Structure 1
Amino acid sequence: MHAWLCTDPTGVDNLRWTELPTPTPGKGEVLVRIHAASLNFPDLLIVQNKYQMKPELPFVPGSEYAGVIEAVGEGVQHLQIGQRVAALSGTGGFGTHTLVPAKLCMPLPDAFSFEDAAAFIMTYATSYHALIDRGALRADETVLVLGAAGGVGTAAIQIAKAQGARVIAAASTDDKCALCREIGADATINYQREDLRETIKTLTDGRGPDVVYDPVGGDFAEPAFRSIAWRGRYLVIGFAAGPIPALPLNLPLLKGASIVGVFWGAFSQKEPAANAAMLQELAHWYVQGRIKPVMDGTLPMRALHKAYERMGQRAVRGKLVLVNE
């Protein structure tokens, strides 16, 4: 097998395409031949040693992927050789093969392409857990999605619309705003040239959004929270802008609003049955055509450095997927 090996987590330039022994699955594991793997923001942080998870060196980055099972380990009963699966295991995806715990594998319906499956679990599970589980989103409510043209942002738009909510999508360029409207956003805000608070006020007749979905953080967090409706829920997804914002605690008091932490990874470990049911529901929505990953494009697995460069420049719209040819 071959894989991108990280021996020194000081940046993308230190990754090397390396020949490695093809491993044999141990107890509870399966060996997956990888057809496609997607690039997520944590995949950039982890090779820069900036992510909360610090894998033992050396490691193969690539948190999310899809492929076919080639071997099963002892005790694996619910999966078999030749079965199509997707998985999100944190590492291992940027290569031709990987070992993964069988419990992390999501069986794929035949209608699910490998490219879509590789771009599915992290963004849609995060957004469903955020909006439906943690945010208790209702059909008559309005959602503001920050960073709306990215992977989790586009998933959030689709899930909110599938729930019957009104969506205001905020992004950094007119092109990204147009993409958000194409996939269902009711209104958009270009927060590089429009005043965020004033535009939110105009679009909501002064009421504000019921739910704010924020994977960005940074300078837009406080004005977005100041705009939230009474009894609003502010969903803290992540900090793609870099700085972790600090909000004055009088704001949730005055708004009767909640600051809600969203950590899908911990949820999937602490509540595995609920997570499995959620993934099954999402797969059903995919087959029905209610949701579909937005693709920035595909690149060969060997072009990982180019993919990282696009992500570092914040040029990716939706998800970027690497494929083994």
Structure 2
Amino acid sequence: MQAWRVHRNGEPGEVMRLEDVERPAPAEGQVRLLVRAANVNFPDALLCRGQYQVRPPLPFTPGVEVCGETADGRRVVATCALPHGGLSEYALADAATVLPAPDALDDAEAAALHIGYQTGWFALHRRARVQPGETLLVHAAAGGVGSAAVQLGKAAGARVIGVVGGQNKARTAYELGCDVVIDRRSDDIPAAVREATGGRGADVVYDPVGGDAYAKSAKCVAFEGRIVVVGFASGTIPAPALNHALMKNYAILGLHWGLYATRRPADVARCHEELTALAARGAVKPLISERVPMKGAADAVQRVADGTTTGRVVVLPGADPR
């Protein structure tokens, strides 16, 4: 079979190689999946760089989530068991984490529903406890993680303000359902948020970016607001001024979805049921901007790393199921 493999750490476009390898053999408690679609995530780039919290042994295959097919023909979504990731014709997954693919979504959409939407759901509902009528500020609103949060926020009855970089991404954010869109390249984010909220600020901030995005969020979070830290796509981990949180009476919350997957898997399964129901009634639908063939995977991971994509880029390996 064919699989993309990383033999040394570095930029995805430089270190990913497409190779012919043996199909991976599942260990006890694992299943082998025929990969129908592999969603590209920012962590795939971090894995290539050796900067992710999990560091699989070299060589490894990136690709943290897939829509796949089991040996008995079931269509499923799963988080891959590294080092045998999803940018391959076959991947491994822990059997206990495999979930049924939603019938309302095609393979690419189903692959993209998993980690990003689970992250958004837990961040907004379990951590921030977003309420109907509240204002939700989403950074990188046209990206893979941000677009999921926009849709989930609208489904929860929130008013959504999206922050993007550039006019093309602004159009995408409006199409996703944002009520207000702020272009970080030309707009003063705190001033624009205060204007859009009558001076109140954002009740909930969803931040997968970190760095300057976090600093600006702290300037426009509402009284008793909640900033949910989801990731650091900017590459800069902020150092919050806790005296500022004290004086303005807001909360800083962390969200590491992987801990729910390992410590409370039943909660993950319940979340998947909720996401499946939302997809069935059309309340959420992953934005797939590109469906690329296997040979384009390295370039796709690099472009996601560079922040030049919108929505989700999904790799379709097109393996022979025999």
Partner Cα separation in structure 2 for residue 26 and residue 175 of structure 1: 45
Q: Does residue 83 in structure 1 map to residue 74 in structure 2? A: yes
Which residue in 2 is equivalent to 1:61? 62
Q: Determine if contact 2:102/2:110 at 8 Å carries over to the other structure.
A: no
Partner Cα separation in structure 1 for residue 285 and residue 237 of structure 2: 30
Which residue in 2 is equivalent to 1:98? 91
AA partner of residue 54 (structure 2): M
**Counterpart of 1:231 in 2: which secondary structure?**
strand
Which residue in 2 is equivalent to 1:180? 173
Partner Cα separation in structure 1 for residue 188 and residue 167 of structure 2: 14
Partner Cα separation in structure 2 for residue 313 and residue 222 of structure 1: 21
Partner Cα separation in structure 2 for residue 303 and residue 320 of structure 1: 11
**Counterpart of 1:223 in 2: which secondary structure?**
helix
AA partner of residue 120 (structure 2): S
Q: Does residue 257 in structure 1 map to residue 257 in structure 2? A: no
**Counterpart of 2:292 in 1: which secondary structure?**
strand
Q: Does residue 11 in structure 1 map to residue 4 in structure 2? A: no
Which residue in 2 is equivalent to 1:2? 2
Deviations 1:113-157 (A, max 9, x none): 111111111110000000011010000210011111111100000
Q: Does residue 307 in structure 1 map to residue 307 in structure 2? A: no
Which residue in 2 is equivalent to 1:235? 228
Which residue in 2 is equivalent to 1:77? none
**Which stretch has the larger CA shift, 200-209 or 7-16?**
7-16
Partner Cα separation in structure 2 for residue 258 and residue 274 of structure 1: 23
Unmatched runs of 5 consecutive residues or more in structure 1: 71-80
Which residue in 2 is equivalent to 1:217? 210
Q: Determine if contact 2:291/2:313 at 8 Å carries over to the other structure.
A: yes
Matches within 5 A, 1:1-325: 1-12=1-12, 13-70=14-71, 81-89=72-80, 91=82, 92-325=85-318
Give the number of the structure with larger relative contact order, counting CA–CA contacts within 8 Å between residues 6 or more apart. Answer: 2
User: What is the aligned residue count?
Assistant: 315
Q: TM-score, normalised by structure 1?
A: 0.94
Q: Determine if contact 2:39/2:312 at 8 Å carries over to the other structure.
A: yes
Unmatched runs of 5 consecutive residues or more in structure 2: none
Change (3 A) 1:18 1:184: same
Partner Cα separation in structure 2 for residue 26 and residue 266 of structure 1: 22
Q: Determine if contact 1:61/1:90 at 8 Å carries over to the other structure.
A: no
**Which stretch has the larger CA shift, 233-242 or 300-309?**
300-309
Using the aligned pairs only, state the percent identity: 37
Deviations 1:51-72 (A, max 9, x none): 11111122111101112112xx
Q: Determine if contact 2:140/2:165 at 8 Å carries over to the other structure.
A: yes
**Which stretch has the larger CA shift, 29-38 or 13-22?**
13-22
Partner Cα separation in structure 1 for residue 53 and residue 4 of structure 2: 21
Q: Determine if contact 1:65/1:88 at 8 Å carries over to the other structure.
A: yes
Structure 1 residue 90, shift from structure 2 partner: 5.7
**Which stretch has the larger CA shift, 24-33 or 170-179?**
24-33
Partner Cα separation in structure 2 for residue 140 and residue 110 of structure 1: 31
CA RMSD, Structure 1 to Structure 2 (Å) = 1.2
Partner Cα separation in structure 1 for residue 193 and residue 25 of structure 2: 54
Q: TM-score, normalised by structure 2?
A: 0.95
**Counterpart of 1:317 in 2: which secondary structure?**
coil
Structure 1 residue 88, shift from structure 2 partner: 1.4
Deviations 1:6-47 (A, max 9, x none): 121223222221222223433222111101101100000101
Deviations 1:257-308 (A, max 9, x none): 1000011111221111111101111111111111000112111012112212
Structure 1 residue 224, shift from structure 2 partner: 1.2
Q: Determine if contact 1:62/1:90 at 8 Å carries over to the other structure.
A: no
Partner Cα separation in structure 2 for residue 99 and residue 316 of structure 1: 27
**Counterpart of 2:45 in 1: which secondary structure?**
helix
Q: Determine if contact 1:89/1:104 at 8 Å carries over to the other structure.
A: no
Partner Cα separation in structure 1 for residue 316 and residue 176 of structure 2: 24
Which residue in 2 is equivalent to 1:75? none
Partner Cα separation in structure 2 for residue 16 and residue 183 of structure 1: 35
**Counterpart of 2:221 in 1: which secondary structure?**
coil
